[in-house]
Amino acid sequence: MNNCKPQTIKVSVITPVKNGERFIRQTVESVLSQKGDFELEYIIRDGCSTDKTLEILKEYGNKIIVVSKKDISPQEAINAGMAMATGDIGCWLNADDIFLPDALQKVIDTFNKYPARSWLYGRCKIIDENNNIIRQPITIYKNCVGFFYSKNVLYCENYINQPATFWKIDLWHKINGNMSIKYKAAWDYELWVKMSNCSKAIPVRVYLAKFRRHNNSISENYYQKQFQEELSIARKHGNSIHFIIHYILVKIRTIIYKYIL
């Protein structure tokens, strides 16, 4: 009789941070408070912070792995963190975002249900600096567009919520997941496109994370740059129809962000 227990799944979470004292504690707590049948590896890549970030991180002792090293971009920090990761499932959570309770267990349950798939995306709420829910029309829109996974739709619109996206580490290595540093705001979008070329994603129709927008966030200050970079990525990987649709949607989104939100 075989009494061997199934191997415990390890989840590797990467957080890039530099001078993130304002929100880093909330981010770390949201990761370390995750409960479930898994092993957690939490790697924080600090870009030589000069505020109290490292002081805060020291409070967590060996619950986290902290590497403080100068980097030239968040992508470089994430790439370095993923290179260190020893888990079965990977993701990154920025230093101002948070996981919702039981998010990681829901991710594992989903992968167990669809073992042939290599990545998934869930839903994500948008919050402000005081943790208030904001921009709910955008959340509803992304939920609708991404209700069913479609690579063709992904070429036309980035409906993937980065803090709620997870992948098998094998997929990261298969696509050489190191993200390009040439993009300043939309580097995650190219990663989703590359992943879509290797595996269909699983749409998880539950909220897994909260994405924070505040005065110093990249998404708040560089959304026009982000939209233009996404358009460039769509042109590079998709066809002319994808590009035209994406171009129209970029124009609409820019107007909404600039004059309505």
Q: Where are the domains of the chain?
A: 10-260
Residues with Cβ within 8 Å of 221's Cβ and at least 6 positions away in sequence, in order, are 215
pLDDT on residue 184: 82
pLDDT computed for residue 259 by the predictor = 65
- Provide the token pair at 71: 């980097």
d(CA 125, CA 163): 10
pLDDT at 72: 85
pLDDT score for 1:
45
Strand pairing class (201-212; 119-127):
parallel
**Cα–Cα distance for residue pair 207/216, rounded to 1 Å:** 24
CATH: 3.90.550.10, 3.40.1410.10, 3.40.50.300, 3.90.1200.10. Which one for 10-260? 3.90.550.10
Mean pLDDT per 10-residue interval, the chain, length 261 residues: 69 97 97 97 97 97 96 91 97 97 98 97 96 94 97 96 97 89 88 95 98 72 81 93 94 77 59
Report CA torsion sign: 211, 215, 218, 221: positive
Closest CA to 85 of 48, 45, 50, 113: 45
Q: How far apart are CA 188 and CA 22, in angstroms?
A: 24
What pLDDT, on the 0 to 100 scale, is given for residue 99?
A: 98
b/e burial code for range 77-96 (CB count within 10 A of at least 16 → b)? bbbbbbeebebbbbbbbbbb
Residue 35 is predicted with a pLDDT of 96
pLDDT at 22: 95
| Three-state DSSP class for residue 82 | helix
